[in-house]
Amino acid sequence: MSAPDLDALVSPDEWERAAQQALDPAAHAYIAGGATDEITLADNRAAWSRLALRPRALVGVGTRDASIELLGRRRPHPILFAPTAYQRLAHTEGECDTARAAAATGSIMCLSTLATTSPEEVAAAAPDAPRWFQLYVFADRGVSRELVARAADNGFEALVVTVDLTLFGVRERELRQGEAHPVPADVASAAAAGVDGAVTPASLQALVDPDLRWSDIERFAAESPLPVLVKGILRPEDARRAVEHGLAGLIVSNHGGRQLDTVLSGADALPAIVDEVGDEIDVLVDGGIRRGTDIVKALALGARAVCVGRPVIYGLAVGGAAGVQRVIEILLGEFDNALGLSGCPVATELDRSFVTRAPWAAVQ
Ligand SMILES: Cc1cc2nc3c(=O)[nH]c(=O)nc-3n(C[C@H](O)[C@H](O)[C@H](O)COP(=O)(O)O)c2cc1C
């Protein structure tokens, strides 16, 4: 196949279609699919569209500022790369290329526990990439402690403990297509857990502890040399617990619609969580962010930043580091444009007055 013309793909959806062409069908099913009827998968996107923007007129938008503050540090913009497992399924350079694109775009990359590249290799490939480490807590706590130590030693700045993969979601696309093939990989978590032979997403997920509790998270937060966030929160009561257990932040997320189907979208769960803890810890959101306007809406509802999952993998599948960079540049360009056209040129000044329930949102 001839190399794709990256500049010809102008919208995130075009990248998605190009990625489907580039990916092996089993890998595509693993990446693109969601749980059972994929109602939440679809709603993650639809929920952002159910919000309408309320632009402010004549405020002067010639100079715009996309920067935000996250965990006490200024960042040039609010996009993070969500942790996604097994990136060498999409491209031979996998997480190394994603890290290179993070460095090129000033984005924070969150490296998955189930990454196919070790924390050391990612740090060496892109020493300037801002990076966080995502932790699935394994039944063998020693493995998790080792991974945290290696992340801290290799310049990862925060720890994201994912709490919504206690069990593995029922993903019918994967059942139909068969499991994605093992790929040559340096899987730090598998090596630390003593898993040898073919490593697949399912073989790694089996190591995650289904009995994790808040007391475990509190212990991790107390022992961790890095600030700790939890990912996979959808209820304000759980957000309150995150504050009570000493966490630095949380990510409102339904795991990209891959775990429990028919749960609330990030967009719909976010406002109540911001109302509960938004003044106390950093609240981020993910799921279905595909447009600059989605980012404006997330910030207007009170998120500090957003995580982007599949679009990064699609960029990687189509064009390696350059592909990821291009996808993120498209989103950043749209975000800058939407800030200006919304009449809120300073990202941190977005508030709920800029959004309203869209008149076109179906009332059921
Ligand atoms: C292929 C794939 C692998 C994922 N692997 C992980 C993972 O290892 N750890 C994790 O916390 N979340 C994982 N997620 C969830 C993402 O971090 C994120 O919550 C989700 O993709 C956001 O939705 P979006 O893809 O619509 O942007 C994965 C998502 C996908 C699509």
The tens digit of pLDDT for each residue in 185-233 reads 777 777 777 777 667 767 777 788 999 999 999 888 888 999 999 999 9
The finding on whether 85 has its CB within 6 A of some atom of ligand 1 is: yes
- 229 burial via Cβ count (<10 Å: 0-12, 13-18, 19+): buried
The whole-number pLDDT of residue 57 equals 98
The finding on whether 255 has its CB within 6 A of some atom of ligand 1 is: yes
The finding on whether 130 has its CB within 6 A of some atom of ligand 1 is: no
Strand partners, 123: none
Measured by CA distance, the residue closest to atom 7 of ligand 1 is 84
Q: How many Å lie between the centroid of ligand 1 and the Cα of residue 256?
A: 6
Measured by CA distance, the residue closest to atom 19 of ligand 1 is 255
The whole-number pLDDT of residue 189 equals 79
Measured by CA distance, the residue closest to atom 21 of ligand 1 is 309
Please identify, by atom number, the ligand 1 atom nearest to the C-alpha of residue 112. Answer: 8
Q: How many Å lie between the centroid of ligand 1 and the Cα of residue 82?
A: 6
The finding on whether 292 has its CB within 6 A of some atom of ligand 1 is: no
Q: How many Å lie between the centroid of ligand 1 and the Cα of residue 84?
A: 5
Listed as ranges, residues in the chain with pLDDT below 70 are 1-3, 182, 197-198, 201, 362-364
The whole-number pLDDT of residue 167 equals 86
Nearest to 250 by CA among 232, 226, 224, 268: 232
Residues with a catalytic annotation lie at 255
The finding on whether 162 has its CB within 6 A of some atom of ligand 1 is: yes
The finding on whether 119 has its CB within 6 A of some atom of ligand 1 is: no
Measured by CA distance, the residue closest to atom 1 of ligand 1 is 31
Please identify, by atom number, the ligand 1 atom nearest to the C-alpha of residue 288. Answer: 26
The finding on whether 112 has its CB within 6 A of some atom of ligand 1 is: yes
The whole-number pLDDT of residue 197 equals 65
The finding on whether 251 has its CB within 6 A of some atom of ligand 1 is: no
Please identify, by atom number, the ligand 1 atom nearest to the C-alpha of residue 82. Answer: 17
